[in-house]
Amino acid sequence: MGYENILVDIAAPIAVVTLNRPKVLNALSPELIREMTTALGELDADDSVRAVVLTGGPKVFAAGADIGDMADRGPVEQLRRDQTGRWAAFAAFSKPLIAAVNGYALGGGCEVALMCDLIVAGDSARLGQPEINLGIIPGAGGTQRWPRTAGKYAAMEVMLTGAPVTAERAYELGIVNKVVPSEMTIEVARRMARQLAEKPPLALRMAKEAVLKAFEAPLSDGLASERKSFYFLFASDDQKEGMHAFLEKRKGVFKGR
Which of 44, 46, 123, 226 is close enough to bind other proteins by CB under 8 A?
123
- By the rule CB under 8 A, 180 interacts with other proteins: yes
Residue 176 interacts with other proteins (CB under 8 A)? Answer: no
State yes or no: residue 161 binds other proteins (CB under 8 A).
no
- Using CB under 8 A, which of 9, 47, 168, 209 touches other proteins? 168
Catalytic residue among 35, 57, 109, 111: 111
- Assess whether 65 carries a catalytic annotation: yes
Measured CA to CA, the distance from residue 38 to residue 197 in angstroms comes to 21
Cβ atoms of residues 207 and 61 within 8 Å: no
Contacts of 231 (CB under 8 A, 6+ apart): none
Rounded-to-integer distance, Cα 98 and Cα 193, Å = 7
In whole angstroms, the minimum distance from the beta carbon of 128 to other proteins comes to 18
By the rule CB under 8 A, 187 interacts with other proteins: yes
Please report the beta strands in the chain, taking only residues with DSSP state E, as ranges in sequence order.
6-11, 14-19, 51-55, 62-63, 97-101, 104-106, 118-122, 126-128, 165-166, 178-180
Cβ 215 to other proteins shortest distance, Å: 28
> What is d(CA 175, CA 197) in angstroms, rounded to the nearest whole number?
23
131 is catalytic: yes
Of 108, 128, 142, 242, which one is the catalytic site residue? 108
**Candidate list 32, 119, 188, 192; residue touching other proteins; CB under 8 A:** 188
22 or 181: whose CB is closer to other proteins?
181
Catalytic site includes residue 77: no
* Rounded least distance, CB 173 to other proteins, Å: 15
179 binds other proteins (CB under 8 A): yes
Query: Other CB atoms closer than 10 Å to residue 86's CB: what's the count?
Result: 16
Q: Does 183 bind other proteins (CB under 8 A)?
A: yes
Q: C-alpha angle with apex 44: 237 to 138, nearest 5 degrees?
A: 130
Q: Can you state the percent helix, strand and coil of the chain, rounding each to 5?
A: 50, 15, 35
Active-site annotation holds for 64: no
- Shortest gap between Cβ of 102 and other proteins (angstroms)? 13
Q: Does 151 bind other proteins (CB under 8 A)?
A: no
Query: What strands lie across the sheet with 104-106, from one edge to the other?
Result: 62-63, 104-106, 126-128, 165-166
DSSP element (H, E) containing 80: helix 75-81
By the rule CB under 8 A, 70 interacts with other proteins: no
- Name which of 82 and 168 has its Cβ closer to other proteins: 168
Q: Catalytic one among 15, 27, 62, 65?
A: 65
At 94, give phi and psi (nearest 5°): -95, -5
Positions in the binding site for other proteins (CB under 8 A): 123, 168, 179-181, 183-184, 187-188
> Which residue numbers are catalytic?
65, 108, 111, 131
